[in-house]
Amino acid sequence: MASALDDADEITGINVTPLVDIVLVLLIIFMATCHLIAHKAMNVTLPKAAHADAVQPTPAQVYLEASGQIRLNEQAMTLSELSVQLQQMSALDTALRVMLSADERATWAQVAATLDTIRGAGVTRIATEVENKAP
């Protein structure tokens, strides 16, 4: 009498396709949410505008906090250090785009000084970030 399991019916390998599918889904979810997680880590409350458009992330993200603290891509620095960093970045990429995210509680003098520093570093493509107003 033959046994229920023959040699041809033995499982000799593990099917990793479901594992790969799950890992890829998790990777996509992580990639979609990592910008939100990093953005929420900054202490910046953006002003709201009725006609705000979503923008693509840029290589140079400048944050101006309510306290006047300036960060370039999450690294704290002074205005003079920001100028030096942006000059180096614009020398490498002449089409450098800078996104300025200023806290709504920051003074206009702080915003103007930051914009002046960015322009003084040779950057001509500057965008500001705002949130949509609730209808």
pTM above 0.75? no
Q: Name which of 1-5, 74-78, 114-118 the model is least confident about.
A: 1-5
SS (H, E, C) the chain: CCCCCCHHHCCCCCCCHHHHHHHHHHHHHHHHHHHHHHHHHCCCCCCEECCCCCCCCCCEEEEECCCCCEEECCEEECHHHHHHHHHHHHHHCCCCEEEEEECCCCCHHHHHHHHHHHHHCCCCEEEECCEECCC
Was domain 44-132 assigned CATH 3.30.420.270? yes
pLDDT of 95 reads 85
Q: Is the pLDDT of residue 10 over 90?
A: no
Question: What is the rounded average pLDDT of the residues 13-19?
Answer: 85
Q: What are 32-72's pLDDT values in tens digits?
A: 777 666 655 556 666 677 666 665 555 788 999 988 899 99
Domain segments of the chain: what residues?
Answer: 44-132
